[in-house]
Structure 1
Amino acid sequence: MTNERLREVMSVGGWTHAALAEAAGVDPKSVERWVSRGRVPRRATAARAAGVLHEDVYALWPALRQPRAARAVSTELVALYEKRADVPVSAYVDLLASARTRIDILVYAAVFLHEAYPRLNDLLAERSAAGCAVRICVGHPDSAQVRLRGEEEKFGDGIESRCRLAALHYRRLVGTAGIELRTHGTTLYNSLYRADDQALINAHVWGTNAYRAPVWHLRRNGTGGLFDTYADSFESVWQTGQEVTR
């Protein structure tokens, strides 16, 4: 298959295969293959040739419009669950139990954890006693964002009551050395459960209850990756939070 567009542009401009090859920094046989066989040069080479010819690179080689292949998966992705309901409670428990230096929890309510694992407070207290810094940030029930979330999920004021229940559960830990509890009023795009360099991230999908939304398990691999993106988001929300006292 020939490249008639390239042949025409070269003919009009008086370009020979050898002349274009020299200007583009390639072998004349390469230019010949571009024209007679429809070969597509590398992007950088194509850009140089198009510049010399004063022509749009995509007009000469439309195939270059195709996007480059994306990485299939992040190196920090350990597992992907289609729904939070598919994640066994043991995954949360094991994750938090593995923490040695840091536990961060960012949710609106997530009372399912206390309901499914009544020893959650005990586990957090044990980790704290072992030297782990524990920060918990739950939704403020009177915030506009929490109310809006309830409307979007067609859950009414149910989410507000669950935020109050979550705060009630965690309030028992207030005063425990190494544990901090705050409420926040941000638009929460993801719930986050972090233990050191691992995290479970529950995506929030508009109009969908969190238990029906996906969860990805991340493990930090270097700096500046996907894990750090979520860790940084926790820090931003944490700074806006109001401390809960007895």
Structure 2
Amino acid sequence: MADAGVSTRQLAVHIGVTGKTIERWLADAELTPHARNRDDASRALGVDEEMIWPQVVKDRIKSGHDRELVHSYPYRSACPSTVWSDLISDATTDLFFAGYTNYFLWTQVPAFPDMLRRKVASGCRVRFLLGNPDGDVTRQRESIEDVALTVSTRIRITLEHLDRLGPLKGLETRFSAPEDAINHVSLSVFRFDADALVTPHLARLVGHDSPLLHLHKRGDGGMFDRFSEHGEELWNGAAPKRS
């Protein structure tokens, strides 16, 4: 903390805990903060997590690219909305939403439209990659899921929300190519600079019932890069949404 020029109060504000919580961590090395608190503290201080909590890292037996896994959730819906909000707020250069419908963002992330406007205004690139609501894969997925709020309806709701934002320089929307749609619908990648939330869709389950991984880039060629490359490949082959 001294090397980083960060006070107890400043660190507490950055992590979202009280100053007394930080003081307890400093006084008792056996205390184990939540994984997200540890990651936030590491980034605030500009050091790797093992420099602060070596016993935790040792217990997890993580090495190499395993260190990029910040947290895992058995269901996407189990990931707190604050995680999404914090990652969006902290991003400064690139926000990439490559879910097939992205519908849940508008209902689960507080003040999502306002956050997007602020990010675009600050110079952050914001991208939405969607499935084609009229595509064959979309119709097939609707048959598989067999739920009232269909895949095509969820995509169109997202498009309506994006249209309400108006033309914003720095915000781009594309539909995945027909030949890539099956790869898109089976894996959602959401990137926030050096962080990513990834959802591999299981069998007949809708997105919120599938697992989610929170990744943070620690080096080249790791899990973060592999999933990022998948999203970029889909984006590069996608067609821009026409007004």
Question: Is TM > 0.5 for Structure 1 vs Structure 2?
Answer: yes
Residue 210 of structure 2, aligned match among 204, 209, 213: 213
2:66 aligned counterpart, secondary structure: coil
Offset at residue 133 of structure 1 (A):
0.8
TM-aligned CA deviation for residue 174 of structure 1: 5.0
After superposition, residues 12-161 of structure 1 pair within 5 angstroms as: 74-117=66-109, 119-155=111-147, 158-161=150-153
Report sequence identity in percent: 29
Aligned residue type for 1:194: R
Deviations 1:66-107 (A, max 9, x none): xxxx97981110000010111111111111111011110001
Which string of whole-angstrom CA distances, capped at 9 and with x for unpartnered residues, describes residues 176-208 of structure 1? 011111122411221121110001111211111
For 2:116 and 2:174, locate their aligned partners in 1 and report how far apart those are by CA, in whole Å: 15
Aligned length: 177
Taking a change above 3 Å as real, the CA distance of residues 148 and 114 of structure 1, as seen in their structure-2 partners, is same
Structure 2 alignment gaps of length 5 or more: 1-61
Partner of 1:162: 154
Unaligned runs of 5+ in 1: 1-69
Aligned-partner residue type, residue 159 of structure 1: V
Report the equivalent of 2:225: 228
- The AA in structure 2 aligned to 1:151 is S
Q: Which of structures 1 and 2 has the bigger CA Rg? A: 1
Structure 1 length-normalised TM: 0.67
RMSD value, Cα: 2.1
The residue type equivalent to 2:97 in the other structure is I
What one-letter code is carried by the residue in structure 1 that aligns with 2:190? Y
Contact 1:105 1:137 in 2 (8 A): yes
Of 188, 191, 199 in structure 1, the residue corresponding to residue 188 of structure 2 is 191
Corresponding residue SS for 1:155: coil
User: TM-score, structure 2 length as denominator?
Assistant: 0.68
Rounded Cα–Cα distance in structure 2 between residues aligned with 1:150 and 1:202: 18
**Whole-angstrom CA distance in 2 between matches of 1:217 and 1:84:** 10
In the alignment, the residues of structure 1 paired with residue 71 and residue 217 of structure 2 have an alpha-carbon distance, to the nearest angstrom, of: 13
**Residue in 1 aligned with 2:13?**
none
